[in-house]
A and B are shown apart, each in its own frame.
Chain A
Amino acid sequence: MATEATEIRGVGHSVKRKEDDRFIRGKGTYVDDVKLPGMLHMAILRSPFAHARIRSIDTSKAGALPGVIAVVTGELMAQHKLAWMPTISADTQAVLATDKVRFQGQEVAAVVAEDPYIAKDALELIEVDYEPLEAVVTPQRALEAGAPVIRDDKEDQKDNHIFHWESGDKEATDKAFAQADLTVSLDTFYPRSHPAPLETCGCVADLNPATGQATIWMTSQAPHAIRTVFALVAGLPEENIRIISPDIGGGFGNKVPVYPGYVVATAASLLLGRPVKWIEERSENLISTGFARDFYMKGELALKRDGTMLGLRASLLADEGAFHADAQPSKLKVGLFHIVTGSYDFPAAHVVADGAYTNKAPGGVAYRCSFRVTEASYLIERLVQNAAYELGMDPADLRLKNFIKPDQFPYRSATGFVYDSGDYHRAAKLAMEKLGYDELRKEQERARDEGKLLGVGMASFTEIVGAGPSADYDILGLKMNDGAELRIHPTGKAILKLSVQTQGQGHETTFAQIVAEELGIQPEDVKVMHGDTDNTPYGLGTYASRSTPVSGAATAMVSRKVREKATKIAAHLLEVAEEDVQFEKGRFFVKGAPDRAKTIQDVAFAAYTNFPAGTEAGLEGVHYYDPPNLTFPFGTYLVAVEVDPDTGEWNVRRVVAVDDCGVRINPMIVEGQLHGGLTEGFGIAKMQLITFDEAGNCIGSNFMDYLLPTAWETPRFELGETVTPSPHHPIGAKGVGESATVGSPAAFVNAVIDALAHLGVRNIDMPLTSSKVWEAIQQSSAGAPAG
């Protein structure tokens, strides 16, 4: 066969996405597009109260409505031991409330009907007699003596305190503070937000009473883990459970947990012997599913007069809602928050965290974030910026002075992480150069003289992704490994099966590129499959930017396994010893005689037609990857804003984002991820807020109140890159999906604070609405600014 040197579009190529062909034609298959014969529709009745005792539930009128097949209550679920379910954080959560409701929007009953409109009609006919109780809407109130105990269902729970957790070295940190010339502190609140993927959550549960087979189409970022949880909770045999995550309309962490709706729909299908579809309305999604953040944080820096950082203290109080259902590795109580030392070389640090129950929705998810690194990054970057003001230093200079230096990697942080690689100075300097930092600072001076408010915000974040090494990372005991299975067919085309689940990240393209890089099969010839637990290897799914670090590594490793066997076959075909065969870009050739060659396609055909004696037929393999370490992407974001002193309105003038995510598999897709993440960071900084009134009513329960950035107000982004490969990842990649959401909120807020810093303003809690900024100006030292 001819062996023409065509370029293999492997790692580093902006290959157009394979998945787009169906989406641009409207031919994606999302869960709501699944329609089965005899399918019923389920709707959920939710609590109007944040905290109330249920006296009685009368479903008789609802049950009598023509078209209604069943009304499910907690009592019925309890008969099947399904009224409660375990959470990811090893707490329990009510599936349908039996005793009390503990947050507004909590699931109380469900109607299953022939038609979704009838199901909704029937909800109106269910009569629930509630006895309202005092609602606890802040963790501070929750921890006061005498506060109503929210979790009186738990025998050993006598108050609302969930956990206390510490990291780092208290003694060394106290000593550092004792030696400091200066300490700077910041009290700040990272408010409750919601990932709000454009597609809400839902499922179609189809339990076949004849075969015992349970097939559940589900909006899940982690189908395999869900299958195991269903087996454990519902007692269904795991081999009979098939979870299918079809096309997912965005996840951002919201689609990691198990929600009561999935459980009730599955139970209803089991009891009725017919498929049951449940699709959330938007307001249900916003008031009841995985929220994000809600951390009250305090940070303190110990510094020498010259700006040298000596120590960091961080303490936080987490509002967990009514059930502790955070998505995070089991051994960690506030995720990876202790990465809070960020990009800086701290000799000492100490972190203290407490969590409290409140009458709010449960399910603290890492919203486009690796287990609370976003809150950590926000705290340290805000704190460093404020420290610069107290020292009279430029915030960029203070950062550059204290960054971990390139020759310190691998670097062990004061809270015990081993950073794999980095060059923070290079990324920061590149961002400053792209922005024209020095010139902008001069312009800021001139603007201030004219009574105008111009601010430059900086954030030099370090992320921590790719959980994780099995020694430390598991979820409910399941090690956080992921798999890849590769099969090369006789014609040289391949199927790659993954345990991770795309929600828009483009896995069908990027993972094919990894195979292309390793085996020389063009990406269009590698079909990537995922999201069907019957047909893909086991793994914990896609969140915490772990797809590329874990499953991407598994893909490279399985490709290399397959290449080993291919080399044997090539040696047989070339009639030389195996060690005399060399591989390059899809060709196996004889060392010293590059014209004597076989392509990977030749070898694939031979694997089924002409393989050496004593070798098994076929060319395939599977690999489960246990990452030796986490990966640490980083970058510097610079934001320039103009603030109107009369109204507090702020407009973004420039956003420069320099990211280093190691080796970029598909630069086009990486940039797309960054655009999206920056936009979400902007939204969180400026408008996205889930809040509650005193009675625990959720304000922000629809897109009229919970504001998301539109194209009109979203800034334009200028991107830059440096490449510092991860030394332990097979292709040097680090993961990028979340970097921009982690790093950018601090940059936006720092920019607004910077515009007001000369007035003495040091903090405004997000979201930075015009009225809050205006108020800060009014209360500042220059209550009425010039002009």
Chain B
Amino acid sequence: MQITVTVNGTERTADVEPRLLLVHLIREVFGLTGTHVGCDTTNCGACTVRLDGTPVKSCTLFGVQADGRSVTTVEGLATNGQLHPIQAAFKEEHGLQCGFCTPGMMLTGAALLEKTTDPTEDDVRWAISGNLCRCTGYMNIVKAIQAAGRAMQDEKAPEPAGAAS
């Protein structure tokens, strides 16, 4: 099937089998390997991308379901070489260790921060409860997302990166 997907702001076309999973479309066809596969069953969230702005688990969607839509992956978080505040905050607050869950965590966190830049700890924990991390115990991930929110307030971020086009 011929599909057209806007990936990180760039329109891409591909001829794919209907059964090809979205995560494999992203990783194998588009070559964006920052999106990871951790569990195959929609539990771990390592494969989280944003589909028209909404965080989704790309291991349980078909690539063809993204036809005509917009996908943001971790590679699309930074704009013009400038890190998204959440990327900077994950490093600053030691919100990652092995790095495998990090792309999904940041995308989920970024979506939350577009709703509110001042989430409570419970808000953050609830928002990322579909993303598993085996290394950090979440403490510093929560701190990083809140810190990114504060940074976005300070910047008065005019246009949240990674939003749906």
Can you give 8 A-B contacts (C-beta < 8 A)?
A: A25-B83, A32-B33, A200-B38, A247-B99, A503-B98, A676-B134, A703-B39, A716-B139
Interface check B150, CB cutoff 8 A: no
- How far is it, in angstroms, between the C-alpha of A674 and the C-alpha of B131 when the chains are bound? 20
* Interface segment out of the listed B60-68, B84-92, B155-163: B84-92
Interface check A649, CB cutoff 8 A: no
Q: CB within 8 A of B135: which of A28, A33, A504?
A: A504
Q: Which 7 A-B pairs have the closest CB atoms?
A: A26-B34, A504-B98, A23-B99, A249-B100, A675-B137, A26-B74, A504-B97
Interface check B56, CB cutoff 8 A: no
Q: B38 to A711, Cβ gap below 8 A?
A: no
Q: Which residue of B lies closest to A200 (CB)?
A: B38
Q: A506 to B106, Cβ gap below 8 A?
A: no
Question: Which residues of chain B have C-beta atoms less than 8 A from A29's C-beta?
Answer: 33
- How far is it, in angstroms, between the C-alpha of A661 and the C-alpha of B17 when the chains are bound? 53
Question: Which residues of chain A have C-beta atoms less than 8 A from B73's C-beta?
Answer: 26
Measured CB to CB, the closest approach of chain A to B7, in angstroms, equals 13
Measured CB to CB, the closest approach of chain B to A501, in angstroms, equals 12
Q: CB within 8 A of A676: which of B34, B43, B135?
A: B135
- How far is it, in angstroms, between the C-alpha of A41 and the C-alpha of B139 when the chains are bound? 38
Measured CB to CB, the closest approach of chain A to B110, in angstroms, equals 12
A334-354 Cβ-contact flags toward B at 8 Å (1 or 0): 000000000000000000000
Besides A28-B99, A703-B43, 11 more A-B contacts (Cβ < 8 Å) are A26-B35, A32-B37, A283-B40, A672-B140, A679-B136, A702-B41, A703-B44, A710-B132, A711-B125, A712-B126, A716-B139
Interface check B46, CB cutoff 8 A: yes
Partner-B contacts on A (CB < 8 A): 16-17, 19-30, 32-33, 117, 196-200, 247-250, 252, 281-283, 503-506, 668-669, 671-672, 674-680, 702-704, 708, 710-712, 714, 716-717
Question: Which residues of chain A have C-beta atoms less than 8 A from B77's C-beta?
Answer: 25-26
Q: B134 to A708, Cβ gap below 8 A?
A: yes
Measured CB to CB, the closest approach of chain B to A685, in angstroms, equals 14
Give the secondary structure class of B's interface.
loop
Question: Which residues of chain B have C-beta atoms less than 8 A from A675's C-beta?
Answer: 136-140
Q: B98 to A197, Cβ gap below 8 A?
A: yes
Q: Known: A23-B96, A25-B78, A282-B40. Is A198-B132 also a contact (CB below 8 A)?
A: yes
Interface check B141, CB cutoff 8 A: yes
Measured CB to CB, the closest approach of chain A to B139, in angstroms, equals 5
Which chain B residues numbered 13 to 29 have a C-beta less than 8 Å away from chain A? 17, 19-20, 27
Measured CB to CB, the closest approach of chain B to A623, in angstroms, equals 27
Question: Which residues of chain A have C-beta atoms less than 8 A from B101's C-beta?
Answer: 198
Q: Which residue of A lies closest to B98 (CB)?
A: A504
Interface check B75, CB cutoff 8 A: yes
Q: Known: A26-B74, A198-B38. Is A714-B138 also a contact (CB below 8 A)?
A: yes
Q: Which residue of B lies closest to A719 (CB)?
A: B139
Q: Which residue of A lies closest to B32 (CB)?
A: A26
Question: Which residues of chain B have C-beta atoms less than 8 A from A250's C-beta?
Answer: 97-98, 100, 134-135
Question: Which residues of chain B have C-beta atoms less than 8 A from A17's C-beta?
Answer: 91, 94
Q: B40 to A281, Cβ gap below 8 A?
A: yes
Question: Which residues of chain B have C-beta atoms less than 8 A from A674's C-beta?
Answer: 137
Q: A26 to B33, Cβ gap below 8 A?
A: yes
Question: Which residues of chain B have C-beta atoms less than 8 A from A672's C-beta?
Answer: 94, 97, 135-136, 140
- How far is it, in angstroms, between the C-alpha of A708 and the C-alpha of B39 when the chains are bound? 12
Q: A20 to B90, Cβ gap below 8 A?
A: yes
Question: Which residues of chain B have C-beta atoms less than 8 A from A30's C-beta?
Answer: 33, 36, 100
Measured CB to CB, the closest approach of chain A to B123, in angstroms, equals 11
Give the secondary structure class of A's interface.
loop
Question: Which residues of chain B have C-beta atoms less than 8 A from A198's C-beta?
Answer: 36, 38, 44, 46, 98, 100-101, 132-134
Question: Which residues of chain A have C-beta atoms less than 8 A from B78's C-beta?
Answer: 25
Q: A676 to B96, Cβ gap below 8 A?
A: no
Interface check B51, CB cutoff 8 A: no
Q: A717 to B137, Cβ gap below 8 A?
A: yes
Q: A676 to B136, Cβ gap below 8 A?
A: yes
Q: A506 to B91, Cβ gap below 8 A?
A: no
- How far is it, in angstroms, between the C-alpha of A283 and the C-alpha of B38 when the chains are bound? 10
- How far is it, in angstroms, between the C-alpha of A672 and the C-alpha of B133 when the chains are bound? 12
- How far is it, in angstroms, between the C-alpha of A342 and the C-alpha of B20 when the chains are bound? 53
Question: Which residues of chain A have C-beta atoms less than 8 A from B40's C-beta?
Answer: 281-283, 702
Question: Which residues of chain B have C-beta atoms less than 8 A from A28's C-beta?
Answer: 34, 99-100
Q: Which residue of B lies closest to A668 (CB)?
A: B94
- How far is it, in angstroms, between the C-alpha of A117 and the C-alpha of B135 when the chains are bound? 31
Q: Which residue of B lies closest to A282 (CB)?
A: B39
Q: B128 to A27, Cβ gap below 8 A?
A: no
Q: A712 to B125, Cβ gap below 8 A?
A: yes
Interface check B102, CB cutoff 8 A: yes
Q: A711 to B124, Cβ gap below 8 A?
A: yes
Q: A710 to B99, Cβ gap below 8 A?
A: no
Q: A20 to B137, Cβ gap below 8 A?
A: no
Q: A197 to B142, Cβ gap below 8 A?
A: no
Q: CB within 8 A of B129: which of A247, A503, A678, A710?
A: A710
Q: B44 to A20, Cβ gap below 8 A?
A: no
- How far is it, in angstroms, between the C-alpha of A251 and the C-alpha of B125 when the chains are bound? 24
Q: Known: A199-B38, A708-B134, A714-B137. Is A26-B98 also a contact (CB below 8 A)?
A: no
Interface check B149, CB cutoff 8 A: no
Question: Which residues of chain A have C-beta atoms less than 8 A from B75's C-beta?
Answer: 25-26
Q: Which of A21, A196, A249 has the most CB of B within 10 A?
A: A249
Q: Known: A28-B99, A676-B97. Is A199-B138 also a contact (CB below 8 A)?
A: no
Measured CB to CB, the closest approach of chain B to A393, in angstroms, equals 33
Q: Which of A20, A197, A504, A702 has the most CB of B within 10 A?
A: A20
Question: Which residues of chain A have C-beta atoms less than 8 A from B102's C-beta?
Answer: 23-24
Question: Which residues of chain B have C-beta atoms less than 8 A from A26's C-beta?
Answer: 32-35, 73-75, 77, 103
- How far is it, in angstroms, between the C-alpha of A704 and the C-alpha of B41 when the chains are bound? 8
Measured CB to CB, the closest approach of chain A to B8, in angstroms, equals 10
Question: Which residues of chain B have C-beta atoms less than 8 A from A196's C-beta?
Answer: 134
- How far is it, in angstroms, between the C-alpha of A712 and the C-alpha of B27 when the chains are bound? 29
Q: Which residue of B lies closest to A714 (CB)?
A: B138
Q: Known: A24-B106, A32-B37, A711-B128. Is A19-B99 also a contact (CB below 8 A)?
A: yes
- How far is it, in angstroms, between the C-alpha of A138 and the C-alpha of B90 when the chains are bound? 45
- How far is it, in angstroms, between the C-alpha of A472 and the C-alpha of B33 when the chains are bound? 44
Q: B134 to A678, Cβ gap below 8 A?
A: no
Q: CB within 8 A of A711: which of B20, B134, B138?
A: B138
Q: Which of A22, A197, A198 has the most CB of B within 10 A?
A: A198
Measured CB to CB, the closest approach of chain A to B141, in angstroms, equals 7
Q: Which of A23, A32, A716 has the most CB of B within 10 A?
A: A23
- How far is it, in angstroms, between the C-alpha of A704 and the C-alpha of B142 when the chains are bound? 24
Q: CB within 8 A of A669: which of B91, B94, B128, B131?
A: B94
Q: B41 to A282, Cβ gap below 8 A?
A: yes
- How far is it, in angstroms, between the C-alpha of A300 and the C-alpha of B136 when the chains are bound? 36
Question: Which residues of chain A have C-beta atoms less than 8 A from B106's C-beta?
Answer: 24
Q: Which residue of B lies closest to A22 (CB)?
A: B99
- How far is it, in angstroms, between the C-alpha of A444 and the C-alpha of B136 when the chains are bound? 31
Q: A703 to B137, Cβ gap below 8 A?
A: no
Q: Which of A20, A26, A679 has the most CB of B within 10 A?
A: A26
Q: B94 to A282, Cβ gap below 8 A?
A: no
Measured CB to CB, the closest approach of chain A to B78, in angstroms, equals 7
- How far is it, in angstroms, between the C-alpha of A710 and the C-alpha of B39 when the chains are bound? 14
- How far is it, in angstroms, between the C-alpha of A24 and the C-alpha of B32 when the chains are bound? 14
Q: Which residue of B lies closest to A281 (CB)?
A: B40
Measured CB to CB, the closest approach of chain B to A319, in angstroms, equals 24
Measured CB to CB, the closest approach of chain A to B95, in angstroms, equals 9
Measured CB to CB, the closest approach of chain A to B133, in angstroms, equals 7
- How far is it, in angstroms, between the C-alpha of A588 and the C-alpha of B114 when the chains are bound? 53
Question: Which residues of chain B have C-beta atoms less than 8 A from A712's C-beta?
Answer: 125-126, 129
Q: Which residue of A lies closest to B86 (CB)?
A: A24
Measured CB to CB, the closest approach of chain B to A14, in angstroms, equals 8
Question: Which residues of chain B have C-beta atoms less than 8 A from A24's C-beta?
Answer: 83, 87-88, 90-91, 96, 102, 106
Measured CB to CB, the closest approach of chain A to B62, in angstroms, equals 12
Q: B134 to A20, Cβ gap below 8 A?
A: no
Question: Which residues of chain A have C-beta atoms less than 8 A from B33's C-beta?
Answer: 26, 29-30, 32-33
Question: Which residues of chain B have C-beta atoms less than 8 A from A27's C-beta?
Answer: 34
Question: Which residues of chain B have C-beta atoms less than 8 A from A200's C-beta?
Answer: 38
